[in-house]
Each structure stands twice: as C-alpha cells, then as structure tokens.
Amino acid sequence: MFDLFREISQTIKNNRSRTILTGLAVAWGIFMLIVLLGAARGVVNNFNDFSSDSSVNYINIWSGYTSLPYKGYRDGRRIRMKDSDMDEIKGEVKAATDASISATASGFNINGPKDYISGGFNAVYPGAQRSERLKMKEGRFINTRDLEELRRSIVLHTDNAELLFGSSEKALGNQVRAMGLSWKVVGIYSHRWRKDSYVPYATYKSITGGDGKVDEMNIKIGGITTEEEALATEKEIREVLARRHEFDPADENAVWIWNQFANYLSQGQAIVYLNLAVWVIGILTLLTGIVGVSNIMFVSVRERVHEIGIRRAIGAKPRSIIMQILTESVVITTLFGYIGIVSGMALLQVLSKVLTDELGFSNPTVDITIALEVTVALIAAGALAGLFPALKATKVKPVEALHDE
C-alpha cells in the first residue's frame, strides 16, 4: 500500500500543474458546498431556536375595526373582544386546546422606590409567557393561583426592574404601586423588544369591576400538522367571533389574526426546500468535480499509454493498473476535497462570529458528521471518477503501446 502511494506521488508530481488545477477546482467546489451547507444550517438553527423558545402553535387575535358593512351596521365599527369569547372559542373550535387573553390597562404609572414608569400594564393569563416568548430571569410568571386568589402580583422586564429598584435583585419580592394599590414583584423577564409589565387578568378585572373587554387573545393550537388545517382553524375562530360580534366573517379587519402556526408550517416547508436546494447544489458540485477528475484521469491515461504498455510488458496485471489509476483519482479528490472542507469550515468559523441571530443565522457551522459524510462521498466520487479511465487503461495493448512513442 505504501508502495502504491509512492508510485502515485511520483506520477502526480510528474503531472503537477494539471493535477493542481483540477484539484483546486475540486477544492473550490467542496469549499462552496461546505459554506452553503453551513449557511443553510445557520438559517435552520435560527428557525429552530425561534420555534423552540416560543412554541409556535399559537394564533394571536387583536381587536380591530370592521371594513365591511354588515346587517345594517356601517363599516369602521370598533370590535372589542370579550373574555367570554375565549371560552366560546375553546368550546367550539376543535383545534383550540387552550387560550389566554390580555387586556391593556393604561393611563397610570408604576412607582418603585427609585423611579417610576409610565403607561400601564397588561392583564393576562399564565399562557402569555409562552405566547409572548418571555424568558424568565428571576422568579416566575403569573400563574393560575394568582388568578384564582386575585393576587396583586406583577412581572417586570429586567430593565424596568432596574429602573424602579436600582437593581433587579432588589426588585424580586418587593412592592410597586400602581392604580393606587401595591403589587408584589413575583418575576423578572427578558425579551428582545417587549418591555410590558404583566398582572393577573382576574385581579385586574375585580379591581376595575371591568366589562370583560380584552385587546388580545392567544389561542393554543393542537393536533394539527398542515398549513391548510391551520388556516381552516383560523377561519373557524373568525367565524365564532363574527357571530358573537356581528361582523362579516369575510371581514379581515374586524379582528386581526396572526396565525403563527400557519407561518411556522410554511416556513418549515421553506426550510425543507432550502435543505433540498443545498443538497442538489452539493450533488451537482460533486458531479462537476467527478467529471473534472475523470477528465484529468482520462488525459493522464492517454498520455501514459506508452508507460502503461511498458508496465504491462514487465508484468503489471490489469488489476494493478486499475488500482493505480483508482487510487490516484481517490487521492487527488480526497486531498483537494479535504482542503476544501477545512477552508470551508474555517470560513464558517469566522462567519459564525459575524453573522448573528438578528441577521437570521444561528451558529452557521457544519458539524463533524457532515464533514465525515462529505469525506466518504469524496472517496466514492474519486473512485467513480477514476473507474472509466482505469478500465480504459486496461484496454491498452502492450504491443501497440510500446510502438507508440
């Protein structure tokens, strides 16, 4: 085996510039493939992060204004959902496994020992943590007991906790004042852009004696796998609300619906296509490489007909000629392919520092199993590339080859 490699390194040296040119083409192809795979992986990772930290199986609904006249009502009418809509939807829409509501209370300040924040808070159900994608840093989110016992609990954004108390550690377990009452800080969360404060919906309703009007409703969806089903569920929800609030079910503006789940499913589809595209490109790259290496091996065999004739005359069996050409092809492909893999991975390392989550990439790298798979593919490609030239080499007749100078 060692002898074989010695033979090969000699013949490669003998055809240095052609080998290097083709080799670089292979290296470039593999390099591009690795970078593409890495970039696609980055997009997929980003998508997965997004969907795992949030659970995407939600449909969010906001109150809106009608845009179509209906049953004697004029258009432009304000529609305000009520908390009772939630139970109705849960009861009627099969795919709705859970729901939460959110009412925005505004026009007052939240006061802490150090400072105050203006605006108000959102009165919510525990489900808001998941649907709003809030990462708890300390404490907990609003829970069912808060609602049942009408506790005056409040969850703050970490920036606001710092503002009100000087530091978020001092905030947890302490009191803030809002609407003339004191509220206990039970949790502190972080989020890229949300800053709202959250209190239990039931507590808020009991304080204000409210009319049950809510601004936002989040429906959790279950038992659904296709985009069509997700869209059908959205339609069912709209129909329930249309009936209860007397608007045209075709009116898209009476309530605004953000069907995250349908988006997720269609994005998932896009990711499948993205992966597919990368593999198609990859396979085409590899095929181009095979054709390139195969070509140089053909040229090499043709140029070495005389040499092959000499080898045959002094006792080389067809098998050893085949082995030599095949190994040569595999060595060229694997060597330069490897250069491509390594430089591609190096570039991805740099890119993973530059391309961040905000740009739609998370950790755009290729793991070692993919590198190994590519290596195996390279060896197979090299063997395939060398196969036909090798078979051609065995067709060389020693008598004729020896004449040929």
Partner 1 sequence: MIGHLNEETVISLRDINKTYPGAVPLHVLKDISLDIRKGELVSIMGASGSGKSTLLNILGILDNYDSGTYMLDGTAIRDLSENRAAELRNRMIGFVFQSFNLISYKNALENVALPLFYQGIGRKKRNRLAMEQLERMGLADRAHHLPGELSGGQKQRVAIARAIVTNPSLILADEPTGALDSITSGEVMGVFRELNESGMTIVIVTHDPGVGASTNRIIRIADGRIEGSSDTPDFKKEQ
| Interface contacts to partner 1, rule CB under 8 A | 2-3, 6-7, 10-11, 13-14, 306-307, 309-320, 394, 398-399, 402, 405
**Termini Cα distance of the chain:** 30
In the complex, the smallest distance separating the C-beta of residue 304 from partner 1, rounded to whole angstroms, is: 9
Residue 74 or 319 with smaller CB distance to partner 1 = 319
In the complex, the smallest distance separating the C-beta of residue 307 from partner 1, rounded to whole angstroms, is: 6
Residue 195 or 403 with smaller CB distance to partner 1 = 403
Residue 11 or 55 with smaller CB distance to partner 1 = 11
CA separation for the pair 244, 175 (Å, rounded): 40
In the complex, the smallest distance separating the C-beta of residue 325 from partner 1, rounded to whole angstroms, is: 15
Residue 119 or 318 with smaller CB distance to partner 1 = 318
DSSP 83-149: HHHHHHHHHH-TTEEEEEEEEEEEEEEEE-SS-EEEEEEEEE-TTHHHHTTPEEEEE----HHHHHT
CA atoms within 13 A on the CB side of 6: 3
Residue 166 or 318 with smaller CB distance to partner 1 = 318
Question: What sign has the CA pseudo-torsion 126, 130, 131, 132?
Answer: positive
Closest alpha carbon to 185 in 119, 112, 101, 134:
112
In the complex, the smallest distance separating the C-beta of residue 303 from partner 1, rounded to whole angstroms, is: 11
In the complex, the smallest distance separating the C-beta of residue 383 from partner 1, rounded to whole angstroms, is: 22
In the complex, the smallest distance separating the C-beta of residue 7 from partner 1, rounded to whole angstroms, is: 8
Residue 4 or 380 with smaller CB distance to partner 1 = 4
Beta strands at 58-63 and 175-178: parallel, antiparallel or unpaired: unpaired
CB-CB contact of 375 with 341 (8 Å)? yes
Residue 322 or 380 with smaller CB distance to partner 1 = 322
Residue with tokens 């004729």: 400
CA separation for the pair 392, 190 (Å, rounded): 68
Closest alpha carbon to 284 in 373, 381, 386, 383:
381
Question: What sign has the CA pseudo-torsion 249, 252, 257, 263?
Answer: positive
CA separation for the pair 359, 189 (Å, rounded): 24
In the complex, the smallest distance separating the C-beta of residue 328 from partner 1, rounded to whole angstroms, is: 14
CB-CB contact of 303 with 58 (8 Å)? no
Residue 249 or 318 with smaller CB distance to partner 1 = 318
In the complex, the smallest distance separating the C-beta of residue 336 from partner 1, rounded to whole angstroms, is: 21
Residue 13 or 353 with smaller CB distance to partner 1 = 13
Residue 159 or 307 with smaller CB distance to partner 1 = 307
**269 dihedral zone (left: phi>0; alpha: psi -120 to 50; beta):** alpha
In the complex, the smallest distance separating the C-beta of residue 15 from partner 1, rounded to whole angstroms, is: 9
Coil, strand or helix at 184: strand
Closest alpha carbon to 339 in 378, 282, 292, 366:
378
CB-CB contact of 246 with 79 (8 Å)? no
